[in-house]
Chain A
Amino acid sequence: MIAATIDRLAAVETPAAGDGYVVVDRVAKVFNPGTGQQVEAVAPTSFAVQSGEFVSLLGPSGCGKSTLMMMVAGLDKPTAGGIAVAGKLTTAPRAETGIMFQDPTLLPWKSALENVLFPFRAMNRPVEPFIDKAKALLDEVGLAGFHHHKPRQLSGGMRQRVAICRTLVYEPDLLLMDEPFSALDALTRDDMNLVLMKMWQEHHRTAIFVTHSIREAVYLSDRVLVMSQRPGKVIADVRIPFARPRDLEIGETAEFNEICGYLRGKIQHRPT
């Protein structure tokens, strides 16, 4: 049975670009080119994410996965290759992409509610029509009664929930999440994964999730793209077969652990 699963996983692991909602085509990134500090962060790599898919970029620390994400977000430019989102070449941030960073990046002087509404202020759109929606989102992630609390009055997990609401409130069609829960303790992290899963199912969007946690990647994703050590590139593309909605208990199943083991082997694999 185990052998059969491995075969099935291996069958789909060949990285392929092709069509998709997000297409990363032979993208490479070199920092400080031509200087003594030249660093090749991302080796030419290609992959595609289909509309509505939840894909994780999994790799060791410093493998360039965050850099790759920033380029998809339009916040950084590739040294070579191109990225297309919704059929358009990415050259600058697009208003329909929502990003979650490693830290919640809340305005410390604004309330939770005001922080959720921040995207509209940043985009110079009227805020009033979205106040009820922002409140509903905060209630949905369990922050009823905390609408007017300042970030410093909230716990780390609560702040990241505010950040989730802020990312969803303007209904982006693409969610980019850069290790959003890596600063949280293990229990809070499980909790946040559940919240994220629930929100993702209710507000179905295409999502790319950067993480170095194998279990998190397997639990959340439809597909996991494994990245090599720096200079990072996608070395495996693994489909996660679990049906949704998923609960945390799937983490106890043999198949789950088998997939985790397989991915761990891929990450530790060092190409010569």
Chain B
Amino acid sequence: MSDRLRAAILPTAFALGVLALWQALVMAFHYPKVVLPAPTDIVAALIDNAGALVHQAVPTMRDTLAGFLLATVLGVGLASLLSFSRLVRDAVYPMIVLLQLVPKIAWTPLFIVWAGIGWPSRLTIATFIAFFPIFISMMAGLEATDRSLVRLSASLTATGWRTFRLVRFPASMTYLFSGLKIGATLAVIGVIVAEFISSSEGLGFLILKSAALLQTDLILAAIAVLCLLGVGFYGLVHAGEAAVRRWQGE
């Protein structure tokens, strides 16, 4: 068996095994559906509520994507800016590192007070939470750039900007993408939490509403959709990384 095939089959078989065990346990011990629905119940809920699920997935996806993109622009932008001035970097960087130690979720109610209960607050939270890993990894990438490459560039009388564009920025890509992957996951968390707190749309809202109605199967169906969304999102970042690598010729 080829390694690729093995890498695909092994985890799939294990996951299917877990689902089968789950199904068997529910059927054998007759758990009430409201406590633990069987996988078949969740699939049925997915089909029955397909319209509602898709409808609610749209705003969640939209806010996540927008927040992630905004966080990328801000994170990469600020890290690049700081890399140009030692003085500004030394002044600003410690505060951002300190800020990122605070659980970001704790800020959510404050953002709702400031930005209202509509999409702007959800976008703000997604951006805020995704910003830190992106900023910090970009910063790390810029600072980890091979010093001899920077020195070579300086010896060729390149300006600071050209050295940035030709050497330091492309050299940071590996670091940046590891931050982007974390940021993508965190952006989803931010949006869901915001939807929990105050929203009349989104998968987070649907989960909370279903919980109030004890529709456990629908909660799990919404989580399954979220799972798909997360995978798709991660895949998007991964595809971006592959594209950059190809462009960099690796």
Contacts and interface: CB of A to CB of B under 8 A. Distances in A.
Given A101-B151, A109-B170, 16 more contacts: A75-B155, A92-B157, A95-B156, A99-B155, A101-B152, A107-B149, A109-B248, A109-B250, A118-B156, A118-B166, A121-B162, A122-B153, A123-B158, A124-B158, A124-B159, A150-B250
A121 B165 CA distance: 10
Interface in A93-124: 93-95, 97, 99, 101, 103, 105, 107, 109-111, 118-119, 121-124
Interface of B: 146, 148-149, 151-159, 162-163, 166-167, 170, 248-250
A73 B170 contact: no
Contact of B157 (A94, A101, A103, A111): A94
Nearest to A73: B155
Contacts of B250: 109, 150
7 contacts: A75-B154, A94-B157, A95-B157, A109-B170, A109-B248, A109-B250, A119-B156
Contact of B156 (A103, A107, A122): A122
- Contact residues of A: prevailing secondary structure: loop
Given A103-B148, A118-B166, A111 B156 contact: no
Contacts of A118: 156, 166
A122 B153 CA distance: 6
* A-B interface, 4 closest residue pairs, ranked by CB to CB distance from nearest: A109-B248, A122-B158, A122-B156, A105-B148
A123 B159 CA distance: 8
Interface of A: 73-75, 92-95, 97, 99, 101, 103, 105, 107, 109-111, 118-119, 121-124, 150
A109 B155 contact: no
Given A105-B149, A105-B152, A122 B157 contact: yes
Interface centre among B146, B155, B157, B162 (most CB of A within 10 A): B155
Contacts of A92: 157
Contacts of B158: 122-124
Nearest to A148: B249
B148 A101 contact: yes
Nearest to A110: B249
Given A75-B151, A124-B162, A150-B249, A105 B156 contact: no
Contacts of A94: 157
A151 to B, nearest CB: 10
Contact of A111 (B148, B159, B167, B249): B249
A172 to B, nearest CB: 10
